[in-house]
């Protein structure tokens, strides 16, 4: 077995930047045909040009079932299959105490972060995976495994996504593997407000001494999509630089 996706077709949501773009880049580099999806065409086209290889783009709001259906249909028309689905797109329109959130932003967060991955997986299953098999990778968060101030609703959606991953893994086995990745704090635009003001301090508190890069998450996704993970399903792979070990886990004087 090798870390190759040659002959496979991957559909990646939220693929125009950050973690999604890094995953699409890794997949294309491993030989996959990749359909990039996000809301803005110009950003998608720029990402596709940078990635190169056998890639195409489609605009879709990940929380809109009709747009998701059109994207999966486009993937089938362009590449003939959906072998790997990466549910990466997410939103976090609210920062503050969970008790104070308005229902509009609450609903949007759940529609994109939980209902969205379910809908995209349903569509990929019915269009291709039910017959051909495949792999689904949900991008969750270590926030779904912990409690943090200010982003409790977002973290609640990620906890639900982790549980949904296990549920779908049980239901779609043995032909479709369903796994999740739980990133720690990664240097993306979406998370900029969390890391930019205190990057050095946060990095110094972490066992591995740095914040995550999108490429760190892409490497995990490539493993889970490949045949090297052929006996892995229902698992959430934590990629967090050791953050969940706690602030006291780094040995004084360590690297």
Hey, which residues are catalytic here? 154
How much is the CA Rg of the chain, to the nearest whole Å? 18
**Nearest 5°: CA angle at 58, between 57 and 63?**
135
Contacts of 204 (CB under 8 A, 6+ apart): none
Distance, CA of 111 to CA of 161 (rounded, Å): 12
What 8-state DSSP symbol labels residue 87? E
Beta strands in 88-184 (DSSP E): 134-139, 176-183
Contacts of 135 (CB under 8 A, 6+ apart): 83, 84, 85, 176, 177, 178, 179, 224, 225, 229
Tokens of 17: 């930047």
Chain-centroid distance of CA 247 in Å reads: 26
Tokens of 9: 């077709």
Beta strands in 31-83 (DSSP E): 33-38, 55-59
């Amino acid at each position: 077995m090798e870390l190759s996706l040659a002959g496979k077709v991957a559909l990646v949501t939220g693929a125009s930047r950050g973690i999604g773009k890094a995953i699409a880049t890794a997949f294309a580099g491993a030989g996959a045909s990749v359909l990039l999806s996000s809301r803005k065409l110009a950003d998608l086209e720029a990402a596709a040009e940078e990635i190169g290889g056998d890639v195409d783009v489609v605009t879709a709001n990940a929380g809109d079932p009709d747009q998701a259906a059109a994207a999966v249909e486009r993937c089938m028309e362009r590449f003939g299959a959906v072998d790997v689905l990466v549910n990466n797109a997410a939103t976090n329109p609210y920062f503050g105490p969970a008790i104070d959130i308005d229902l509009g932003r609450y609903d949007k967060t759940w529609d994109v972060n939980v209902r969205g991955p379910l809908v995209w997986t349903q569509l990929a299953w019915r269009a291709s995976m039910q017959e051909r098999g495949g792999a689904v990778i949900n991008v969750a968060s270590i926030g779904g495994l912990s409690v943090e101030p200010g982003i409790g609703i977002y973290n609640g959606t990620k906890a639900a996504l982790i549980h949904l991953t296990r549920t779908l893994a049980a239901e779609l086995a043995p032909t479709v593997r369903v796994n999740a990745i739980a990133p720690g704090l990664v240097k993306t635009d979406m998370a900029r407000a969390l890391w930019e003001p205190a990057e050095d301090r946060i990095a110094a508190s972490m066992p591995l001494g740095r914040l995550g890069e999108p490429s760190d998450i892409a490497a995990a996704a490539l493993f889970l999509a490949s045949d090297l993970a052929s006996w892995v399903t229902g698992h959430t792979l934590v990629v967090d630089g050791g953050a969940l070990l706690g602030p006291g886990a780094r040995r004084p004087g360590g690297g």
